[in-house]
Each structure stands twice: as structure tokens, then as C-alpha cells.
Amino acid sequence: MLAGGGTAGHVNPLLAVADELSARHPGALLTVLGTAEGLEAELVPERGYPLVVVPKVPLPRRPTPDWLRLPGRLREAVDAAEHALEETEAQVVVGFGGYVSTPAYLAARRRGTPVVIHEQNARPGLANRLGARWASSVAVTFPGTQLAGAQVTGLPLRPEIADLIDERAVDAAGTRVRAAAELGLDPELPTVLVTGGSLGAVSVSSAVVGAAAELLAAGVQVLHLTGKGKAQAVRDQVRELSESGLAAGLAGRYQVREYLSRMQLALAVADLVVARAGAGTVSELAALGLPAVYVPLPIGNGEQRLNARPVVEAGGGVLVPDAELDPRWVVEQLLPLVADPSRLAEMGLAAAGVGVRDAAARVADLVEAAVPTQEATP
């Protein structure tokens, strides 16, 4: 039983481990425990795994009337999770955090079912902090994550990222040329990929497009993924730049899209990435050996800064606070970087040295080890 969901950050590693276990044990029954509201409700059935849903039990961050209803809601979710464990005869629970993991861990403890945990962020979430207290194994993405008995496995990668790593290892130049052709980009130009994830990052977008004239004049090509609903404002700025004459004839090298369903194409052509520092982003870029400018989300508990720390300290990335990223920073710091192929190559090697490419296999090893010997499947 694999438990986790809510966001792609929880679901993608879960599916990567499920795929690894399925490949090793074709006859095994792998069931995913999730909620009806999370992204898992869409992604898990698409991948072909059965999904069992339990009630979503968010923990209020401050005292509200919801606190009074919390015990009853949690009890209902734990009972539903325990029923799922009984129905599937689960030998082990593998949790990835998120709303569904807490009832899964509590149900597993009640039944005496072994638990394996994977924590994606440098700063662990509440569910995994709870489950780690009695887990058989605790896997973490980043060194220094404060969970008892943690083993660094890295973040299990999406299949398309793992495939891109393999393709680049065989024919990096050809992979780049093919990806550029599909995107309508020039494979010969130094290329900056700007992305804020599916939700976008307005401050990052504003800083980079504000330096578009200088980037284009220096011969740089930009692929800017704005996030849904945010592309038009950036397109308008690029068009105004072209019409003003500051980038006459060059605006075609600044490509603006809301998002890419095949993100691996953008990563295949990028020389430098400007992005937030979510665990998935940092892990994928490091595994690919891509240098990056990381701009941690300025809200929350500071986990994104911690996520980026290992690769930045190794020399594979640059960390810039959101408040300091502006067009001037892009011109004075980013532009010299993207214009220096030797430095980019050094950063790429440093990032690759930190990146983990076999994390799904490492987590699967822990899952196999947790299955009681007398019940182990062949």
C-alpha cells in the first residue's frame, strides 16, 4: 500500500516507486491510498494502479472550530485506511507525506504493518515526522533532513526525466537538437529556461522579462514558462520591446508559453535554468546535471532554501533571495553566467555530483527489506 498525494510533489515520487516495485514483482498487488480531492485522483488511475480514497483530514494551523471536529475526522480516516489495509492484505505501507499519510501510518501501527517513509523536502512535514517514530525505514531526499534514522536515497524521478538522463548519456547533442526542433528553438544558441512551476512565479517572470533586451542583444535564447494564466502579460512586454526597437528582429528568440506538458523537452535544450527550489525541481535538475539559479519561495517555512542548499554548496547552482531578483541582477549576474560555457560546464558537473539517478531503486530496496520474511513475495 502506497500512501501519499495532494500535490504532484507527493504523487510523482510515489508513482516512480510503484513502477520500480511493479517491474521487480510483476504479480504484486500495488494499491495507492489517497483522497478524492488530491492530484492522485487523476494521476494514479492514469498510471494503471488501483486507488482507494479516504477522507481528507487537514490539520488547522491555528485554533478554529475545526479543531473540535478533528478527532472525529481523523478517526474516520484511520478506520477507512485500516479497512483498505485489511482488504488488500497489505504487507507494508509506503508513505510519501500529505494528508492521507497520517491515517495510513496510524492504521498501519494499529495493525502491526511495517511502514517505510519517504520525505521529499529538507524540512519534513507533520505526517512524516509522526510516522518516522515507528517506521521500519525512513528515506529522505536531502542530507541533513531531521528525521530519526534517515537514509539519503534522493527523490524518485519521473519516468520522463529518467528517460532523458539515459538519452543524454547516449547522445546529448542529438537529444538537444531534436528537442529544440520540437520547440521551435535554435539548438546552437545559449538557452535560458525560466519556470516557476505550474502555478508560475510572478516575481521571477518580471525580473527576467525586464532584462529581455540585454539577454537578446547578447545572443541568448529564452524559453519562459509562466504558469497557467500568466503568459499574456509577459508576451505583451516582449512585443512592446520589439515594437520599441530595443530588440528589433530578436523577439522571436524569447519564447513565452504557459506550460509544457512535455517538460523534458525544455530541460533537454536548457543551458541554465531559473526556477523555484521545490524538492522535485532541485532533484531533477541535479540528476540531469543542469546548472540553475534557484529563487526560493519567500513564504512558508523556508524549506525551499534548504532544498537548494546541497547543490548550491557543491557549486551546481546559485541561490538568490526572491527580494533580490530583479532585472539588474539578471543583467549583472545571470547574463555573464550564461555567456560563460566553461563555468556552466563546471556547474553542471557539480550538480550531477549531488544528483541521484537511482532513488526509486533505493526506496524499493527499503520496501523489500521491510516485508516480513515469511511473507516476502518471490
Question: Which residue in 60, 111, 120 sits closest to 81, CA to CA?
Answer: 111
Q: What is the pLDDT of residue 8?
A: 82
Same structural domain, 239 and 198? yes
Question: Do 253 and 348 fall within a single domain?
Answer: yes
Do 176 and 306 lie in one domain? The reply is yes
Clarify whether residues 130 and 215 are in a common domain: no
pLDDT at residue 228 in the model: 83
Question: Are 246 and 368 part of one and the same domain?
Answer: no
The answer to whether 281 is a known ligand-binding residue is no
Does 67 have pLDDT greater than 80? no
pLDDT (0 to 100) of residue 377: 46
Torsion of CA 313, 317, 318, 323, to 10 degrees: -110
Domain that holds residue 78: 2-157+358-375
- Mean pLDDT (whole number) for 73-96: 95
Q: What is the mean pLDDT of the chain?
A: 92
Give pLDDT, residue 197: 65
Other residues' Cβ atoms within 10 Å of the Cβ of residue 344: 17
Let me know the angle formed at the C-alpha of 187 by 181 and 190, rounded to the nearest 5 degrees.
140
Q: What is the pLDDT of residue 250?
A: 75
The answer to the question of whether 302 is labelled as a binding residue is no
Angle CA(178)–CA(181)–CA(182) in degrees, nearest 5? 90
Total count of domains within the chain: 2
* Residues 127-152: b if buried by 16+ CB within 10 A, e if exposed: bbbbbbeebbbbbbbbeebebeebee
158 is in an annotated binding site: yes
Percent of the chain exceeding pLDDT 70 equals 94
Q: Do residue 54 and residue 92 come from a single domain?
A: yes
Same domain, 171 and 150: no
Q: What is the CATH number of the domain that holds 25?
A: 3.40.50.2000
Residues 283 and 331 in one domain: yes
What is the pLDDT, as a whole number, of residue 373?
77
Pair 185, 130 in one domain: no
Using pLDDT thresholds of 50, 70 and 90, give the confidence band for residue 378: very low
Residue 233, marked binder: no
Q: Is the pLDDT confidence value at 129 over 50?
A: yes
Q: Report pLDDT digits (tens) over 215-249.
A: 999 999 999 999 888 888 888 888 888 777 776 66
60 and 136 both lie in a single domain: yes
Query: Does residue 285 register a pLDDT over 90?
Result: yes
CB 98 within 8 A of CB 127: yes
- pLDDT(60) > 70: no
The tens digit of pLDDT for each residue in 309-344 reads 999 999 999 999 999 999 999 999 999 999 999 999
Check whether residue 59 and residue 77 sit in a common domain.
yes
304 is in an annotated binding site: yes
- pLDDT tens column, 343-360: 999 999 999 999 999 999
Pair (268, 301) in one structural domain: yes
